[in-house]
Every structure is written in C-alpha cells, then in structure tokens.
Amino acid sequence: MLLTSFDAVADHDAEILILGSMPGKASLLRHQYYAHQRNAFWPIMAKLYAIPLDLAYSERLVCLQQRKVALWDVMRNCERVSSLDADIVESTIVVNDFVRFLQHHSSIRLIVLNGQKAFQTFKRYALPLLSETGKDIECVVLPSTSPAHASLSFSQKYEQWQQALTS
C-alpha cells in the first residue's frame, strides 16, 4: 500500500527539526504525528518541554512550535504493509524536499533523527542532495520512540533525548 506522510509542522524560526521515518497506521488514521498510544514521543516532549499530555493535539503542536521545534518525516511516500519500518519497500521510498525546507527554515541548527530507519533513509537519500550549508547542520540519531523499539526503557530513551535537545 502506498503511504503518504504529513506536511511539516514548522514555524519559520524553528531551530530543531525532528524527523521520523514514516507515520505508522495509528498516526495515519488519526492524521497526527506519533499517535500510537504507546509511542514515547509525546511523553518525552511533555517531560522535556512541560507540555501537558492532556492538551489537544493541535495545542501540543503549538507548544512545540513555541519552543522552536519542528516535526516532519524523512519519507514523503513509500509502500509498507504494516507499521514496522522493517516492512518499508526500499525501492518505493520518495523523500521529502529538504533542500526547499531548509531554504525556508534557515534557522534550523539541529536535525534529530527519530530512530535508525529515519537516519539511514536521510543519510542515503536526502543528505546527498543538500548543499554544503545544509550539510553543516548538526544531525543526531536518537532511539526510536516507537513501541516496536522496546530494547530501551522510557527512562533510557528520555535521557538520550534530553541530552540531545537541551545541550
């Protein structure tokens, strides 16, 4: 099944860009980033940035934008039969237009890749297209917040995310 990710959620003054790979089924159904109830993304953001988890999704997005954090995915389109990154059909990957995005968001200083698939895809398909300016932006790979990535506890994931986003 061909999947299409969401538009970027970003103000022009965003400094941090958090990139997932491709939304899972729960997120696609609800048209919300990180909508799976066991995904650690929103609990991590809540703890890092004092964003109440009971806020409506649109209000949580506003809170992130106020903290100069943008959300997007590396892939614009791909085929996948489940929510697992391992099920993405590599030959169907189309990445988002990072050249254009970074031209319009020149204050981005840090790109955070949420998990290994986001990192691998960004490195292989997006990074070679970036100008020297874009390649100078710091990139950090963090443990996936997906419930499928259960080898680390919430505390271990939070610690790594905190270290990257507050340094």
Catalytic residues: 39
Give how far Cα 99 sits from Cα of 18, 125, 128, Å: 16, 12, 10
State CA 150 to chain mean position distance. Answer: 18
* SS3 labels along the chain: CEEECCCCECCCCCCEEEEECCCCHHHHHHCCCCCCCCCCHHHHHHHHHCCCCCCCHHHHHHHHHHCCEEEEECEEEEEECCCCHHHECHHHCEECCHHHHHHHCCCCCEEEEECHHHHHHHHHHHHHHCCHHHHCCEEEEECCCCCCCCCCCHHHHHHHHHHHHCC
